Amino acid sequence: MALIVHKYGGTSMGSTERIRNVAKRVAKWARAGHQIVVVPSAMSGETNRLLGLAKELSPAKPDIAYHRELDMLASTGEQASSALLAIALQAEGQPSVSYAGWQVAIKTNDAFTKARIESIDDKRVRADLNAGKVVIITGFQGVDDNGNITTLGRGGSDTSAVAVAAAMKAHECLIFTDVDGVYTTDPRVVPEARRLTTVSFEEMLEMASMGSKVLQIRSVEFAGKYKVPMRVLSSFTPWDIDINEEAASGTLITFEEDEKMEQAVVSGIAFNRDEAKISVLGVPDKPGIAYQILGAVADANIEVDVIIQNLSKDGKTDFSFTVHRNDYAKTIDLLQEKVLPALGAAEVTGDAKICKVSIVGIGMRSHVGVASKMFRSLSEEGINIQMISTSEIKTSVVIDEKYMELAVRALHKAFDLDQA
């Protein structure tokens, strides 16, 4: 018998039919003798629908009173799905009770719409589990010190589930979703992509931050910090699939690196089309320029990713970096208006049609020549690399967007990721 947290995403909770299916699956786990806490998302589309209603009445405002009401509003999506699941479980003959975040309580700070969990009191939940109930806790929400309802940011139910699992020292946190695990890359780009049976939490962090949107990235950080074993698996298998088979399915996010020693050096290829490149040309090469350029960008709350500075020639250098594509125009304007005149730089140019492709693997720590193999493979395809950045477990290149799929396929093959 173990305490296990199940999280079900919006698609899995998308209709009464699907909620009934979730109930049958959860009841199966409870019948097998496990204590189950379920953290559901709102029914798919519900959070968007609710926030859309607010927008009809008033456009988004950077105003605390407004954000407080957004949380009051959006949190109802999870309250409804949680109650519906409890009703469905009871109909299956499985005693069950649902709680909103404030009833548990899941305490957060007061940053409405992007609150962070500070503590979870598990007393009430434990008592119910010990009384044989399945306990359902709304995902995505909590309560601040003043009793205001808060939400954790879009996709936040993953983080709720991991936080509950951490607080209750659960044996595992099972994230049931509409895909059957984490893949070596997006199967829509590379049909040969394979499901990984395990992935280290650090690799998952890199993959999650680069477009494989299986999990909210904050939930992975949380799992890493509190060492919560987390498994991503499908909620679209028949609910009565053998429980042992189900318990071993999907992708397990691990913490033991030793297990991975014998495995592939590169675990996955991540890519991201959301970036844009900006270059400041003819910058005087003197102390403080990086600060002058990137400081102004940071002050405008724009996040910068890959950065390069060229060797200088005749006391001038070129400086390039990438930002999110949504921030592209804003960054160019900012540099042209404020930074260029102060800096005495010649010109700002940019390219929004780029993408970032990365190879990710903890095996890269202990192997040399991994990056050069990447570069060779890209050169064999005639793909020009515009920027490179590396970390201990990742090498990323910025290339022309039109070569993205070609690059991902070539790298997937070069690193033998299509072979089990």
Query: Can you give the binding site for ligand ASP, defined by CB under 6 A?
Result: 10, 41-42, 47, 77, 139-140, 154-158
For residues 152 to 171, the per-residue mask of contacts with Mg ion, x marking binding by CB under 5 A and - elsewhere, is ---x----------------
47 binds, among ligand ASP, Mg ion, none (CB under 5 to 8 A by kind): ligand ASP
Among 107, 104, 115, 125, CA closest to 169: 125
154 binds, among ligand ASP, Mg ion, none (CB under 5 to 8 A by kind): ligand ASP
Shortest Å distance, C-beta 296 to Mg ion: 35
Which residue lies nearer to ligand ASP by CB, 12 or 249? Answer: 12
230-234, strands of its sheet edge to edge: 96-99, 134-137, 35-40, 3-8, 172-177, 230-234, 251-254, 198-200
Among 312, 242, 305, 223, CA closest to 272: 305
140 binds, among ligand ASP, Mg ion, none (CB under 5 to 8 A by kind): ligand ASP
Count of beta carbons in the 10 Å neighbourhood of residue 369: 9
Shortest Å distance, C-beta 219 to Mg ion: 9
327 binds, among Mg ion, ligand ASP, none (CB under 5 to 8 A by kind): none
With contacts defined by CB under 5 A, name the span among 119-127, 147-155, 297-305, 342-350 that binds Mg ion: 147-155
List of residues 6+ apart from 79 with CB closer than 8 A? 100, 138
- Determine if 9 is a binding residue for Mg ion (CB under 5 A): yes
* E strands present in 285-315: 304-309
- Determine if 363 is a binding residue for Mg ion (CB under 5 A): no
Among 40, 24, 45, 48, CA closest to 81: 40
Q: What is the C-alpha separation between 204 and 334, in angstroms, rounded? A: 34
Shortest Å distance, C-beta 317 to ligand ASP: 43
- Determine if 77 is a binding residue for Mg ion (CB under 5 A): no
Q: What is the C-alpha separation between 201 and 304, in angstroms, rounded? A: 24
Which residue lies nearer to ligand ASP by CB, 154 or 325? Answer: 154
